Amino acid sequence: MEVSLIAYTPEPERTVAAAARLCYSSQDPHKLLDGMNEEKAVALVSKLTAMGHFSPFEHVSFTFAINGISRATSHQLVRHRIASYSQRSQRYVGEENFDYVIPPSIARNEVLRDKYETLMAEIAQVYAQLASSVPAEDARYVLPNACETAIVCTFNTRSLYNLLAHRLCLRAQWEIRNVAEKMLEQVRAVAPTLFAEAGASCETTGICPEGSYSCGRIESIKNRNGAES
Amino acid sequence: MEVSLIAYTPEPERTVAAAARLCYSSQDPHKLLDGMNEEKAVALVSKLTAMGHFSPFEHVSFTFAINGISRATSHQLVRHRIASYSQRSQRYVGEENFDYVIPPSIARNEVLRDKYETLMAEIAQVYAQLASSVPAEDARYVLPNACETAIVCTFNTRSLYNLLAHRLCLRAQWEIRNVAEKMLEQVRAVAPTLFAEAGASCETTGICPEGSYSCGRIESIKNRNGAES
Amino acid sequence: MEVSLIAYTPEPERTVAAAARLCYSSQDPHKLLDGMNEEKAVALVSKLTAMGHFSPFEHVSFTFAINGISRATSHQLVRHRIASYSQRSQRYVGEENFDYVIPPSIARNEVLRDKYETLMAEIAQVYAQLASSVPAEDARYVLPNACETAIVCTFNTRSLYNLLAHRLCLRAQWEIRNVAEKMLEQVRAVAPTLFAEAGASCETTGICPEGSYSCGRIESIKNRNGAES
Amino acid sequence: MEVSLIAYTPEPERTVAAAARLCYSSQDPHKLLDGMNEEKAVALVSKLTAMGHFSPFEHVSFTFAINGISRATSHQLVRHRIASYSQRSQRYVGEENFDYVIPPSIARNEVLRDKYETLMAEIAQVYAQLASSVPAEDARYVLPNACETAIVCTFNTRSLYNLLAHRLCLRAQWEIRNVAEKMLEQVRAVAPTLFAEAGASCETTGICPEGSYSCGRIESIKNRNGAES
């Protein structure tokens, strides 16, 4: 899997901060922007995050190129509706030599892994036979969820926070959690303050929307915070 | 495939018409609604459609239960973002006895159909073996696009018009076109005037956004219209 | 101010519950719906609310006719983007005899109230003069924020929860808080379980996104809850 | 009125073109981007525009700071829901010395202009009196639609096309049409190919969604095109 930040709104924190200041200021927006240096921007963005005032975060968006994820995961990804997607099409692109993802739980078991790989080879063979007789869009019906895809996607910061809150949860599946981790790593590299508070709900709010019953992370957060105080 | 309209805003045309009238009237909205009989509503909705004033159409929404479509098609369906979805999850529901869709181009060729069905049986077998050792969410990586799913989805009228414009186009794939046809049939049964002008772009505007190069339908529409006049 | 629920998806709780069940069930959606009686629906909706699983709530939408609110408030209302609006237009509807809202803080002070009403009368007079010479869309530039408007708006349940969380907060302005209270009252009358947990953030989560500094309500909630336990 | 493009996704045309290519290519998205020079990007974006394939256009967004528009116009602007806004708040910012817009139809008539300006001065005076006794959020009820505001807004390219199609129509009001013209001018300066086909519906499609009855522009377009051929 490869996740790369290929484009984003320049000077993300300064842009957000200038927009946020406008709501509470009688100054000309152009002057606001001129007067907004890095230091002031960082201070204001931190305050916005602390107060949960996320609407100015929407002015900044991030575009990722993602490669080598399964169609199982892209199906989960595109369910985030406040975002834009361009995905490699199995209707128009032949998949004769498709690559595929192997879940770690299968990869580490030699017997299962063998069965899995053998099946993938067979699917590829049948796909090739079908694709020589019927349209690619029909041949693809045999392709597995494991089949790798590529997708370019764009999220504004607020929508990305939402994705991260859901997909960094330990109950999210390992593959999309992996995508989310890489996204967060990359946006934090260019906008550390903007994403200082992004993460799973339990990490950011101390609340588990799944009802705490499952993963134990919230207890470890509480213990850690208890130990800190 | 089964597509059923399981819920919708009552009195769709009267609701749209009352909302539309409000924009151009100084009357109390409650009086507007009281004074809006079926006949007036139909006349006003027709006028809105003719003028392309679709915003009041959003006040009415339609909920469908869809069963027996492939995951290939559900992946296309959920790309419509101004809509709501609840889909059967392959993470939580076992697929040991999954049903599958066979594209007609394959079904009508005995040799291809045999290969296809044999492969599906093998996939089911490997899935069952995997699912007894690893979580369902990992076992599902072998499941094919053909695997049947069920989904409940809700569209407002304007968003549904957009879906129909794209998915009734002859360049849309047969399966989602089939879904779109059934949707249109069902909403027309309860709101004929509201959907009088819904359809593929060529049918409704005489313009082919695909550049006319492909299907010939636009020529047949022009001929038909020519013959009519 | 008049807020009326003029249309909504029938059987709201049963519809939500059936959609939610689908995600975790291998049953046919049509059978799910048949098997979903009132009692089961109520139990499942309560569970969804408790777990914060709000996506199935989107399948149900509510349409309100609102009359006699100020343009100040309609400007706030239409900022909720996951919703649909049809508003009386000051471009096309003459406002010679416009009604207006008086904020209570002004209404209860006789001196201020007099000034306010005198000004409104003057504005009406100038508007009438302008409207006899220039288009209504230009004459309306003198109309005040206080000017009453009418609007039909539709929200799905999830988006309505969001509106209520923000606009029932004591820091929201009195007029839109009043709109939100009336909305909640009306939807609770027809879908009590669906809206059992709707309200300001402090009431529903115990967290004040405004930083607790302002209204004191969160302390009273904590005391109340303490007293209860 | 001042409209400035304060931020946008860098290399807009190259970003759109790389995303669009991905849908129809088996190449790694990172290689696609590397191989996408300016010339190829321009050619591909032109093709997308001609075919109406606008979804890759969403990956690029534009942020404007707008100053000195009336609240009448900002109310129209924020009705575009696929966009992000940060607006100067009349709840938190005092408007004792508010600036205001004068519609040209009023400005060019001395008598009307006098009445208008006198009324504005009176409103300012009453506002100041109110604001010294009641909260700014209540005092603002007397402020006129003409009152100037400032707003930062972000649109992706596709949503901006939609705004331009509606607001460059000659039936749009002069002030928001003026905003739209300035937006188009500024985005064309940085992404000429991307916006080559943006404009009012009649200019881009030859179809008048208002039913041709009003402005005569479509006839002049037809004549112009006739003369060209």
- Which residues of B does the annotation mark as catalytic? 167
Cβ density class C199-214: b for 16+ within 10 Å, e for less: bbbbbbeeebbbeeee
Residue D86: which CATH number?
3.30.1360.170
φ/ψ (deg, to 5) at C95: -120, 35
User: What CA–CA distance (Å, rounded) separates C148 from B27?
Assistant: 12
- As for how many domains chain A has, the answer is 3
Residue A111 in tokens: 């017997």
pLDDT band at residue A118, thresholds of 50, 70 and 90? Answer: very high
Residues ≥6 apart with Cβ < 8 Å to A82:
A155, A156, A158, A159, A162, B81
User: What CA–CA distance (Å, rounded) separates C119 from D118?
Assistant: 12
DSSP code of residue A40: H
The per-residue pLDDT for D216 is 75
Residues C47 and C24 grouped into a single domain: yes
C-alpha separations of A180 from A114, A185, B163, D49 in Å:
29, 9, 30, 32
pLDDT digits (tens, 9 = 90+) for C194-223: 999 999 988 887 777 766 556 778 777 777
Residue C56 in tokens: 């199935």
**C148, closest residue in chain B (CA to CA):** B26
Tell whether C110 is covered by a domain.
Answer: yes
Residues ≥6 apart with Cβ < 8 Å to A101:
A1, A68, A69, A70, A72, A73, A146, A148, A175, B141
For range B14-37, the mean pLDDT? 90
Tell whether C112 is covered by a domain.
Answer: yes
Tell whether C95 is covered by a domain.
Answer: no
User: What CA–CA distance (Å, rounded) separates A88 from A63?
Assistant: 16
Arithmetic mean of pLDDT over chain C: 92
The helix (H) or strand (E) run that includes residue D155 is strand D148-156
User: Does position A15 have pLDDT exceeding 90, yes or no?
Assistant: yes
For range B3-26, the mean pLDDT? 94
The per-residue pLDDT for A227 is 56
pLDDT band at residue A157, thresholds of 50, 70 and 90? Answer: very high
Q: Residue D152 — left, alpha, or beta (φ > 0 → left; ψ -120 to 50 → alpha)?
A: beta
Q: By percentage, how much of chain C surpasses pLDDT 90?
A: 79
Out of D50, D52, D209, the one facing B52 most closely (by C-beta) is D209
User: Does position A8 have pLDDT exceeding 90, yes or no?
Assistant: yes
Arithmetic mean of pLDDT over chain A: 92
User: Does position A204 have pLDDT exceeding 70, yes or no?
Assistant: yes
**D18, closest residue in chain A (CA to CA):** A152
Residue A48, classified by CB atoms within 10 Å of its CB into exposed (0-12), middle (13-18) or buried (19+), is: buried
Disruptive mutation site among D24, D87, D152, D161 for chain A (greatest number of A CBs within 10 Å): D152
Residues A124 and A157 grouped into a single domain: no
C-alpha separations of C17 from C21, C39, C45, C188, D33 in Å:
6, 11, 6, 17, 45
The per-residue pLDDT for A216 is 75
Residues A111 and A141 grouped into a single domain: yes
The per-residue pLDDT for C226 is 62
Residues B186 and B166 grouped into a single domain: yes
Which ranges constitute the DSSP H helices of chain B? 12-23, 29-34, 38-51, 71-77, 104-107, 110-131, 136-139, 157-167, 174-190, 201-205, 217-228
Contacts of A105 in chain B (CB under 8 A): 133-135, 138
Residues ≥6 apart with Cβ < 8 Å to B141:
A70, A72, A100, A101, A102, A103, A106, A116, A144, A145, A146
- The interface predicted TM-score of the complex, written ipTM, equals 0.93
The per-residue pLDDT for C229 is 44
User: What CA–CA distance (Å, rounded) separates D184 from C158?
Assistant: 35
Residues B152 and B61 grouped into a single domain: yes
Residues A63 and A154 grouped into a single domain: yes
The helix (H) or strand (E) run that includes residue A39 is helix A38-51
Residues B50 and B116 grouped into a single domain: no
**B65, closest residue in chain C (CA to CA):** C29
> What secondary structure does DSSP assign to C33-81, as a single string?
HHT--HHHHHHHHHHHHHHT--GGGGG-EEEEEEEEEEHHHHHHHTT--
Residues D84 and D103 grouped into a single domain: no
Disruptive mutation site among C51, C88, C97, C157 for chain B (greatest number of B CBs within 10 Å): C88
Higher-pLDDT residue of C226, C127: C127
Residues C175 and C219 grouped into a single domain: no
Closest by CA to C149, choosing from C227, C85, C229, is C85
HSE-CB of A99 using CA atoms within 13 angstroms: 12
Angle at CA D214, nearest 5°, toward D210 and D219? Answer: 95
The per-residue pLDDT for B51 is 86
Q: Which of D146, D166, D182 is the last residue of a domain?
A: D146
Residues 117-136 of A with CB under 8 A from C: none
Closest by CA to D69, choosing from D148, D131, D4, D16, is D148
Tell whether C97 is covered by a domain.
Answer: no
For range C93-115, the mean pLDDT? 97
pLDDT band at residue A228, thresholds of 50, 70 and 90? Answer: very low
Contact B33 C65 (CB under 8 A): yes
Tell whether C229 is covered by a domain.
Answer: yes
Contacts of B211 in chain D (CB under 8 A): 50-51
Name the catalytic one among C21, C71, C167, C177.
Answer: C167
The per-residue pLDDT for A229 is 44
Residues A54 and A120 grouped into a single domain: no
Range of the structural domain that residue C21 is part of? 1-90+147-198
User: Does position B3 have pLDDT exceeding 50, yes or no?
Assistant: yes
The per-residue pLDDT for C34 is 87
User: Does position D213 have pLDDT exceeding 90, yes or no?
Assistant: no
Q: By percentage, how much of chain D surpasses pLDDT 70?
A: 95
Residue B23 in tokens: 């924009």
Residues C215 and C106 grouped into a single domain: no
Tell whether C167 is covered by a domain.
Answer: yes
Residues D18 and D53 grouped into a single domain: yes
The per-residue pLDDT for C225 is 63
Whether residue D171 lies within 8 A of chain C, CB to CB, comes out as no
Residue the block writes with tokens 């009237």: B25
User: Does position D227 have pLDDT exceeding 60, yes or no?
Assistant: no
Q: What residue type is D28 in one-letter code?
A: D
User: Does position A28 have pLDDT exceeding 80, yes or no?
Assistant: yes
Q: By percentage, how much of chain B surpasses pLDDT 70?
A: 95
